Structure 1
Amino acid sequence: MSAFDNNPFADPVDVNPFQDPSVTQVTGTDTIEEYNPFSARTLDNLNGVTIPISASTQPAVLHPTVVPSPQATAAAAQAELLKQQAELERKAAELERKEQELQNRDRDTTGRGKENNWPPLPRFFPIKPCFYQDFNEEIPPEFQRVCKMLYYLWMYHCVTLFLNLLACLVYFTANTAGGVDFGLSILWFILFTPGAFICWYRPVYKAFRSDSSFSFFFYFFIFAFQVIVYIIQSVGIPRWGNSGWIISISMIRTNLAVAVFMLVVAGFFTVNAVLAVMLLKMVHSKYRRTEASFEKAQQEFSLGVISNRTFQTAATTAASSAFQ
């Protein structure tokens, strides 16, 4: 009850915590020595490790920062712009030079400084090469594979026509009614071998070489017709000069050996048709990545007709005749 007898409104008694007997007992003893970091004992505990003291007695000097003037900054920027402009002009001149070389190759075969190398005929042969062809030099790297595949397709096309001629000859020896097919097979070999090279291979070669829109459209038109011809040849309608499936199957009962040879040629025609469709799609996908368009093809055709010497001569003759 003595705890409740204290007056709560009286001033609190100041209590010194350091007067506590337990505290005074601890602080009164001399068990804790004064720690001196510079004493000999402390230095001995460093195990002989010494801290090197810099021998430099020179005062630190703060160099002033050099701020370029606005005139110097403008001069440096102008020099950089002039350097970039000179580099761009050099690249433009290089591109113009290459474009001029390509145009010269198209216009004049003798002025390009390179002889025609296709077809690769011996020098003593009376007929000289008619075209210049170099995939690595004239065709961009991204189009070389497709262009070479089209060239191989043309070679396969020629081999197929030659085998078709032999098959029709064998068919004519086994059946006298096959004389018409043999005669037409000779005609197809003579016409379609150089015709395919000039009508659809060279246009696509020129299209990839110079990014010509007119050559692309000309190739698409002719090659689509070539695909239809391949399909007709693989079918093998009698008296059309093609050793296709129909005429080959009809010879099985008559002469099995002749029928087998004609079936092989029919397979060649079928592979021709399949490869032609695949390459047509590949060329079209490459064409869509270029800058070619129908409007550009019209402009190229107009410029080509106007700049053609034959057209100019005919127009001049017609105008003079009309004037007279």
Structure 2
Amino acid sequence: MSKYTSFPEPVGDDHNPFQDPSVTQHSSNTGYATLDLYNPFDNKTGPPPPYEATSPSAGPVPAQTPPSKATTPTEPRNYGSYTSQGAQQTAVSATTAELLKKQEELEKKARELERRERELESHSLGPGAARQNNWPPLPSFCPVGPCFYQDITMDISQNFQRTVTIMYYFWMFGACTLLFNLISSLSMFCVDPSGGVGLGLAILWALLFTPCSFVCWYRPVYKAFRSDSSFNFFAFFFVFFAQVVTYVIMTIGIPGWGFSGWIVSLAALKTSVPVGVIMLLNAVCFTAQTAMGVAMLKKVHSLYRQTDASFTKAQAEFASGVMSNQAVRQAAANAGQAAFTGPPR
């Protein structure tokens, strides 16, 4: 029974299986790569690459950067700005332009308030006090004083100051043209004494048109823009249209009418070339005056359409102006009293 329960003694032929020559030969062979370098799924033909042991002199392995945090499905991802840089610059430019426009409007209102403040200071004497006349600017020793008060920067709104100023300079240009017409007619009279009628009419036109044009069409347009007066607008249109027609007649230069226009100037070249040249220059001035007159008539009419002026308001202003005149009221009262008492017996 003991021979079945006891282990047999090892014999000499028994040996360690790990010491088998085939195993030790395979483990000592370094011609093949180990499992950490060998990829059995690689489709390369041939034996696996040889194993290369890491050199102990190699430096430390650089530390790997930790992977970035993965976003969860509910976490919003940052895709950058929704507006491009060009759109941002456009928005900034639009905002800047709007601010500049508002600043310009505020400056315009400030100038308007300053103008009104100066006007109120000029009326500080009271509502019934009249402003001192300052036009024409005559010297103090002159026995005749100024007849009108004129201050474009104070009386006229800033939107219409340029137009009124141009009309004032246009009136001055017309006065200078009439003076030049007097000089050219005088020069023609010196070479041809038979043209005395033209010289006399040239003197008459210079003395008549210069003050009448100021009173009849410049002052109405000045007062029209100053107080938005419909009556003055219509008075200006009526008189200035007749003035433009007169400018056309001056430009034509009908002989014997006292205007050095184109017809008279071309005829004067046959008598005297220097005098003809002077009269031709005068004809050019008349032509420029006519063109400027037509342009300014259209300009004032376009500004008139932008205002609240109308023919009905002009009639109402005329009626109120007539009835507010003391002389007219006195004449109407006398006529009514005479009609009431009847004719004397």
The alignment's TM-score, normalised by the length of structure 2, stands at 0.62
- Aligned-partner Cα distance in 2 for 1:161–1:312: 40
The 5 A counterparts of 1:99-118 are: 111-112=128-129, 114-118=131-135
Aligned counterpart for 1:154 among listed residues 171, 181, 189: 171
The 5 A counterparts of 1:235-246 are: 235-246=252-263
CA shift in 2, pair 1:296/1:113, >3 Å: closer
Equivalent residue letter for 1:259: G
The 5 A counterparts of 1:133-282 are: 133-282=150-299
Equivalent residue letter for 2:193: T
What runs of 5+ residues in structure 2 fail to find an aligned partner? 1-112
- CA deviation vs aligned residue, 1:228-252 (integer Å, no higher than 9, x gap): 0000001000010101000110011
- Aligned-partner Cα distance in 2 for 1:317–1:124: 43
CA shift in 2, pair 1:310/1:124, >3 Å: same
Equivalent residue letter for 2:208: L
- Aligned-partner Cα distance in 2 for 1:138–1:163: 32
Identical amino acids, percent of aligned pairs = 52
- CA deviation vs aligned residue, 1:123-149 (integer Å, no higher than 9, x gap): 121111111111111000000000000
Higher helix proportion (structure 1 or 2)? 1
**Other-structure match for 2:323:** 306
Aligned counterpart for 2:312 among listed residues 279, 295, 300: 295
Equivalent residue letter for 1:215: N
The alignment's TM-score, normalised by the length of structure 1, stands at 0.66
- Aligned-partner Cα distance in 2 for 1:177–1:321: 58
- CA deviation vs aligned residue, 1:269-305 (integer Å, no higher than 9, x gap): 1111000111111101111110001111111111111
User: 1:114 offset after TM fit, Å?
Assistant: 2.8
- Aligned-partner Cα distance in 2 for 1:261–1:127: 35
Ranges of 4+ aligned residues in structure 1 off by more than 4 Å: none
Equivalent residue letter for 2:200: G
The count of corresponding residues between Structure 1 and Structure 2 is 222
**Other-structure match for 2:83:** none
User: 1:322 offset after TM fit, Å?
Assistant: 2.5
User: 1:323 offset after TM fit, Å?
Assistant: 2.9
**Other-structure match for 2:335:** 318
- Aligned-partner Cα distance in 1 for 2:331–2:249: 40
Helix, strand or coil: the match of 1:286?
Answer: helix
- Aligned-partner Cα distance in 2 for 1:136–1:239: 43
Greater RCO, 1 or 2 (C-alpha within 8 Å, sep 6+): 1
| Largest Rg, 1 or 2 | 2
What runs of 5+ residues in structure 1 fail to find an aligned partner? 1-94
Equivalent residue letter for 1:149: I
User: 1:113 offset after TM fit, Å?
Assistant: 5.1
The 5 A counterparts of 1:14-25 are: none
User: 1:110 offset after TM fit, Å?
Assistant: 9.9
- CA deviation vs aligned residue, 1:22-76 (integer Å, no higher than 9, x gap): xxxxxxxxxxxxxxxxxxxxxxxxxxxxxxxxxxxxxxxxxxxxxxxxxxxxxxx
- Aligned-partner Cα distance in 1 for 2:309–2:231: 8
